[in-house]
Chain A
Amino acid sequence: MTVAVVRFGGSNCDRDALRSLQDLGIDAEIVWYEDGLPADTTGIVLPGGFSYGDYLRAGAMAARTPIMQDVREAADDGTPVLGICNGAQICAEMGLVDGAFTVNESARFQCEPVHLRVETTDSPFTSSFEVGDVIELPIAHGEGRYEVQSGVYDDLIEEDKVLFRYCDADGEVSDEANPNGSKDNVAGVLGDCDNGAVLMPHPERATLPELGGTDGRAILEGLSG
């Protein structure tokens, strides 16, 4: 019974994720990518950072490491998988979710709090919310602009796979509230199975009241199985 937080060379939010999960009473450990997933893995976090120095494209190299095949198989078997920031980019690069995360519209690295509207509760990460709830999490990325081909996007909408959208404090989804130019303000999506999800904002950085809010806790609790 453990949540595997997969560390690549260049991951830098792995310890934050571990600490947050432990604070929530969820058993978790950091797993070096070359060591493979532990046999008792019950959840997987692909943490933020700059795996492989963002060479080629953010997440491109990590997406093609052997451990990610194990992650795919675990996701197919129903294990909750959460890709955060660089972890989201990795999951998109390997096709665990549709679309791609690429250079922000501003062409700059952006580090700021954002509001998100919950778009579906049909996932372990949002099951404790109501659709339309507004939460606040920080973003910290240079390549967070969600791009997706229009036919694929239509399917995402049809299948209720959009997890969060960037919005203002009142929950209004607008261009002004879109920090990076993402397609239709999409901040996170679900994979083929509802137990696999990615998002660019950082729930693990919003779990302590002393550090600007606790809206990330309910998302991470989705890993408790």
Chain B
Amino acid sequence: MAAFTAIVTVRLKSGVLDPEAATTQRALERLEFELDDLRFADRYEIDLDAADADAAAERAESMAERLLANPTIHDYDVEIEDRT
């Protein structure tokens, strides 16, 4: 077994309205920042032990499928880092 950190990023699917992001963008513009667009994502850092990086990724993907993301509105991706 080896120690990994699985980084799961969950974001709204392209085309799904994000009112919180739009509100945040307007607030930044009120502060006189220039920007074209703004997107939110949730990032989960999950420490786990697994036989190898593939096994760690598989478990993290299962977590995203079953809880962290809602497939109707979200896409997600998983990165695996060694944890020492």
Contact = CB atoms under 8 A, between A and B. Distances in A.
Interface residues of B, number: 13
A89 to B, nearest CB: 10
Nearest to A99: B72
A163 B11 CA distance: 29
A105 B23 CA distance: 10
B67 A56 contact: yes
B20 interface: yes
B70 A100 contact: yes
Contacts of B67: 56, 60, 64
B19 A105 contact: yes
Nearest to A64: B67
Nearest to B68: A56
A215 interface: no
15 contacts: A56-B67, A92-B72, A102-B73, A103-B18, A105-B17, A107-B22, A107-B23, A145-B17, A147-B16, A147-B73, A148-B72, A149-B72, A152-B72, A181-B17, A181-B19
Interface of B: 16-20, 22-23, 66-68, 70, 72-73
